Amino acid sequence: MPSAYSFECDLTFREAVKIFDAMEDWVRKPNLHGRWLVRDNDRDGDYLSYYEYHPGDRSIVKSLCLFFDTRPRQVTFAVTRNPKVPAGNGDLQRVWVAHHAHVLDVLLPSLGARNVKQSDFER
């Protein structure tokens, strides 16, 4: 299954920060799970990241990144097991399918995304 999509939208990075109530001052703060974070790097510029533990199995981590300085813009996402906690018995494949659907059916439409296409973008 793809783990990245390219898209176009009219939303600016600053507008997305406001919509998602993204934290700009988050370094060394606890309990960031379930929060959007403002990030940047030299290669890809400004982006937002998000992760949360799957309810009922904290060994499953769902993550997202929205890249705003790339053309076209990119979203990457993953479902992984946290190696720092004992493995639970949650179904990774089922969580992946739900997370993938959330990205395509909820997240990207909330941004006004258009021309959504599978991508080989790597973060």
3-state secondary structure of 30: coil
Angle at 20 between CA 14 and CA 21, to 5 degrees: 80
List, edge to edge, every strand of the sheet that includes 4-8.
Answer: 36-41, 45-54, 57-67, 73-81, 4-8, 114-118
Q: What is the pLDDT of residues 9-60, one digit of tens each?
A: 999 999 999 999 999 888 777 788 899 999 988 888 999 999 999 988 989 9
Pick from 97, 77, 80: nearest CA to 88: 80
Structural domain boundaries, residue 16:
4-118
Identify how many contiguous H helices and E strands the chain contains and give both numbers: 3, 6
Q: Is residue 123 part of a domain?
A: no
In a domain, 70, yes or no: yes
- 48 assigned to some structural domain: yes
Spatial distance between the Cα atoms of 29 and 105, rounded to a whole number of angstroms: 31
- Rounded to two decimals, the pTM is 0.89
- Give 42's contacts (C-beta < 8 A, 6+ positions apart): none
pLDDT at 1 over 60: no
Domain count, the chain: 1
